[in-house]
Chain A
Amino acid sequence: ADDSPIKAASPVSTNPACLPAWIAPPITPPGVQADHSAEADNISQPDELTYDLTGNVVLKRPGLVVLSDRVQLNRLNEEANAFGQVQFQRDGLIVTSQSAHLNHQKQTAQLKDARYQFIDTRAHGTAKQIDVDQKTNLAELEKASFTTCPLVQYSWQARNGDIETSEKYDWELDFGHLQINNNKRRIYGYNTWLYFQTVPVFYTPYIDFPMDDRASGFLFPTIGSYRPLTRDTAENYVAVPYYFNLAPNYDDTLTVMKMQDRGWVVDNEFRYLLPNSSAQLSLTGLNDQVTSKEGLSYIDENGDPAYGEKIEQRWRAKLIAQQQWAPGLNSNILWHELSDKYFYTDIPVESALDSASYTQRYINLNYNKDNLQAGVHILNYLRLRDDAAYNYEKRPEVTLNYFHPFETEGLRNVSINLPITSTEFQIAPQAHKPEAQRNVFSPSAQYQYYKPYGSFKAEAVANKVHYYMEDNGYNTSGQNQLDITVPQYALHGKLIFERDFSLAGFDMVQTLEPEVQYLYVPYQDQSRIPLFDTTARSLDFTNLFSYNRFSGSDRIGDTNQVSAALTTRFLKRDGTPLAEAGLGQIFYFADRQVTLNSTATDTELAQNTQNVSDYYVKLGFTAGPVYFASTSQYDNRNYELTNSNSRLKFGLSSDFNLLMTHLITNQNQPGEQEDLAAGLTWQLTSKWGVGGYINYDFTKERKTEVQSAIRYDSCCWASELSLKETQLDNGLYNYSIQYVIEFKGLSTVGTPFKEYLNDKLNF
């Protein structure tokens, strides 16, 4: 999944009942041009240079307001002492105390036994002493506390049996020293104790967190139990993030995890976010007590657990980076390095990969300028288990494409496309598969004519594919160079008919869209060419009009066919889609000969010799909370459903969401597969929410993945208990239970369940 480097989780709750009360009503500070002035009930001058103001005194300076009962002000050294119900407001910070000393010359203020509050987030706290310095824009607080929670009543039974009530904050941070830095908009805390429900739960010598936007929730602690695929016993762990933060756009989180058997794990995640570049570097390391004694447990070729060599030091490094080097020139990287294949399986630091057999790694450099695109790509697959498949890799692939629309009068609608791709296909020697350098040059010329009522396109593509086979002992093609040149000719026409249409007073537009395409591709023998990046296409209605029934360039399907489709759509007058239905089929004038496998299978031969294709149907509608869409394929002889993808979303309200997808592939044919994935989030009350996700494999009658979670959301903290189970082939099984407490208003790195589910099912 596409995860953004900086993930802002739950911001401070905005529900009014959750906002802490004001310690003093906020006043808009006087502007920069304001006078230095003071108002009072009475003013007297004991001597020429001192003023004594009494009776709700209001002292004003640019950006500063001080209210108090009495102020003694010395004009010479510009100092003032305020007494009685002092309210000091400056730069979005309110401070209240019984006394304050202000020095206008040094632009400082000192308040004792004070309470402070930020105007924008209403986070607040107390302090023995606060020194505010306007020049350096810093506020230093001694023996201070900080919380984003409102004051709540709670009652408990005292020892003598009667019920007592008092007030508390759900969580609170107590600092020996606290610095509020307005330049960096950050808060730096030293000798910090964290109190949760008035119980001290965590100490850190140093902590800092942002004052505004990214202030969401501080994840502490993560308690869990994890059973990896490679062991049959679960292991408990506690993860405590120490949160170091370097600058507004840099972010470093050091997490220390104690695993019951494996010992201490240190995980550090460094992130930065700049306007045109962002990166996330995660480093994790441990001295694994289990693998150093029992040896690395792994899953052998036929998928059974076994024990291997003893290793102690295990580590992983992951880099996700995007960078825009110049307008149009950007790169992105996703890379993992592991000390051993089973790191992600054994150590619960990447929940998405804890049961995967491989993961993708890539480095891309792309250049886009008007009609020119170019790119260099390295694509590689990191195997995470011994029974993982070996896959071809691109080391590297260079792509270049130039698109040129002609402007000259006669050639108004003509354009040409010149895509060139050169790929170095390589694979691990254990795969015993051929390797080659393949160059694909497929220039095409199109004549396109678009009108509101339809379009016409004539296109000719000349595909030239050349292979330089590597002599690695597995060159099944028998030649060291292979070459095919296969042209593709297509004529495509589409018309759009419309009529206004109203049903029960609801006026809509109904369209009728016939679409026809003639495609001719001559046959050229490609059976000796190995398959590097070619496979059959996934089911989709638009496959009817694709020029090649295979994806990739190792097979260019020969055909002489006409494909036709009729789609009708219902739209609101402003174009919002309401419903659609489509039917399509391909009519073949001759049999096809190119097949995926070098020796054609029976199904391939059958497909190549039928003179009409299966029927393709697409359906979709949105009605209130229900959204449904499906594409299906019916056998042309007995109208039996063979393939279908359908999805249903039922969003009763923002509190109840049900998402389902259902897939059927090759029904009643070899390789039949049927899967259901369903997810549910239900906010029962403003505080309690539940969620569930299941991935069910009908063919193997197995719940491949089940996840359930219950979340308690209070004003300024939340906690979540989630269980995840995965069942794979030959009895491989892993489960993970996780309990997370999240303090809103600091900042979090965790993914609350709702977001995790969104990553799972998002439509």
Chain B
Amino acid sequence: CGFHLKGTGPNAVAGFESIKFESTGGVRPDILRALKMQLTSTDVKIVENAAQAEVILRFSPTQYTTSRTSISGQGDAASELIKMAQPIHVQEVATEKDILDTSVQAFRDRRIDNSAALASNRELMSIQQQMAADIASQIIDRINRARAEPAK
């Protein structure tokens, strides 16, 4: 039915080998860490100066917001919707063309047990780690697809 392994099809484009990060000031440390970990484990080198980089990835500050989605009988938040959005801007060094300008998002719902607030807080920290890793893998996937698909 036409399915083939990603990256092995006719218009497969080799992934990029080197990347440069720019303006990482307002970015969450866990997103940067997850991105570095995933990039190094796919043999992509993170370089300092743009000359050696194939792709330049410029960040804007991460937006992290929580909204109360239900309230307990005592007036405290009983569940929250967490949104983590990371705006990115990607430029292909060889052609100096801007190939991607988007905001990658991750959502998670969490229940809060107000009599075990510390446990909910611990779960929140592990949820944030997973969201950061999810955003990192989305960023890499979006860069690869944007490079393969010349912006119309």
Binding site for B on A (CB under 8 A): 1-2, 229, 303, 355-358, 360, 366, 368, 373, 379, 381, 385, 387-389, 391-394, 403, 405, 412-413, 415, 425, 448-454, 495-501, 509, 511-512, 531-535, 537-540, 542, 551-552, 571, 573-576, 629, 631, 645, 647, 661, 663, 665, 673, 675, 677, 695, 697, 700, 704-705, 726, 728-729, 732, 758-763
Q: Is the CB of A531 within 8 A of B114?
A: no
Mark contacts of B56-92 with chain A using CB atoms, 8 A cut-off: 1 yes-contact digit, 0 otherwise.
0000000011111111011110110101000000000
Does A574 lie within 8 Å of B123, measured CB to CB? no
B residues less than 8 Å from A704 (CB atoms) = 70-71
B126 touches A551 (CB 8 A): yes
Closest chain A residue, CB of each to CB of B120:
A535
Q: Give Cα distance in the complex from A356 to B127, angstroms.
A: 24
Knowing A453-B6, A695-B71 are in contact, say whether A358-B122 is a contact too (CB < 8 A): no
Main secondary structure of the interface of B (DSSP, over half): mixed
B-chain residues with CB within 8 Å of residue A645 when the two chains form the complex: 109
The residues of B that contact A539 with a CB separation of less than 8 Å are 109, 111
Question: Does B67 contact A762, Cβ atoms closer than 8 Å?
Answer: yes
CB of A538 within 8 A of CB of B74, answer no
Contact check, A575 vs B141: say whether CB atoms are below 8 A apart.
Answer: yes
Q: Is B116 part of the binding interface, using a Cβ–Cβ cutoff of 8 Å?
A: yes
Besides A357-B114, A360-B121, A387-B74, 7 other CB < 8 A contacts?
A357-B74, A368-B29, A389-B117, A535-B113, A551-B126, A675-B78, A704-B71
Instruction: Please indicate the chain A residues that have their CB under 8 angstroms from the CB of B74 in the complex.
Output: 303, 357, 385, 387-388, 728-729
Complex contact B73–A728 (CB within 8 A): yes
Query: A497 near B100 (CB under 8 angstroms)?
Result: no
Q: Would you give the 0/1 interface string for B108-152, flagging 1 where the beta carbon is closer than 8 Å to chain A?
A: 111101111111111100110010000000000110111001010
Complex: A355 Cα to B78 Cα, angstroms = 13
Chain B residues whose CB sits within 8 angstroms of the CB of A571 once the complex forms: 145
Q: Which residue in chain B gives the minimum CB-CB distance to A552?
A: B122
Chain B neighbourhood of A697, CB < 8 A: 70-71
Question: Whole-angstrom distance between the alpha carbons of A379 and B117 in the complex?
Answer: 10
Alpha-carbon separation in the docked complex, A761 to B69 (Å): 8
Q: Which residue of A lies closest to B124 (CB)?
A: A551
Residue of A at shortest CB range from B142? Answer: A575
B94 lies within 8 A of chain A by Cβ? no
Write out the residue numbers on chain B whose beta carbons fall within 8 Å of the beta carbon of A534. 119, 122
CB pair B76–A498 under 8 Å, yes or no, is no
Closest to A447 in B: B41
Name 17 A/B residue pairs within 8 A (Cβ), A-sorted: A1-B66, A303-B74, A360-B117, A392-B116, A415-B41, A450-B42, A498-B3, A498-B6, A498-B9, A511-B6, A533-B122, A535-B123, A537-B123, A542-B130, A675-B71, A700-B73, A726-B71
| Contact (Cβ within 8 A) A760 B8 | no
Question: Does B49 have its Cβ within 8 Å of any Cβ on chain A?
Answer: no
Kindly list chain A residues whose C-beta atoms are within 8 Å of the C-beta of B141: 575
Contact B69 A405 (CB under 8 A): no
CB of A538 within 8 A of CB of B109, answer yes
Task: State whether B3 touches A358 (Cβ < 8 A).
Answer: no
- Cβ–Cβ < 8 Å partners of A673 in chain B: 70, 78
Given contacts A695-B71, A728-B73, A762-B67, are A532 and B40 in contact (CB under 8 A)? no
Tell me the complex Cα distance, A415–B40, Å.
Answer: 11
The residue from B118, B130, B142, B151 contacting A391, defined by CB atoms under 8 A apart: B118
A643 vs B117: C-alpha distance when bound (angstroms): 21
Interface centre among B1, B118, B126, B141 (most CB of A within 10 A): B118
Whether A732 pairs with B75 at a CB distance below 8 angstroms is yes
